[in-house]
């Protein structure tokens, strides 16, 4: 369940080719009614920080090979467009 300052992402997705994963997405979804509330703002700031540090680490240490890791908060009204743009990068 929900606890203040805890983050339990809704989805972890992967993208790759030929049975090789080269991108990992950590996704948190939010209903439009939650945009701008304290929990959503906290998670947005946390994911920005995670994205900053994900660029600085060697993901090969964790996954055995280099992978791009992206943390993303996705709003209910824009989820289809947002996921399409993420997976088409």
Dihedrals phi, psi of 16, to nearest 5 degrees? -175, -170
Q: Which two tokens stand for residue 11?
A: 């989805």
Contact indicator for 49, 69 with CB cutoff of 8 Å: no
Which residues are CB-neighbours of 74 under 8 A, at least 6 positions away? 27, 28, 29, 30, 82, 83
pLDDT tens digits, one per residue of 10-31: 999 888 888 888 888 999 998 8
pLDDT higher than threshold 80 for residue 67 = no
Model pTM score: 0.79
pLDDT tens digits, one per residue of 42-66: 999 999 999 998 888 766 666 666 6
How sure is the predictor about 2, in pLDDT bands with cuts at 50, 70 and 90? low
């Amino acid at each position: 369940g929900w606890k203040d300052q805890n983050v339990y992402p809704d989805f972890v997705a992967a993208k790759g080719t030929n049975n090789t994963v080269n991108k990992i997405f950590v996704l948190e979804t939010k209903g439009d009614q939650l945009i701008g509330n304290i929990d959503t703002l906290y998670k947005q700031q946390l994911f920005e920080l995670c994205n900053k540090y994900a660029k600085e680490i060697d993901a090969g240490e964790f996954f055995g090979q280099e992978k791009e890791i992206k943390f993303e908060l996705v709003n209910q009204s824009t989820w289809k467009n947002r996921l399409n743009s993420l997976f088409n990068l």
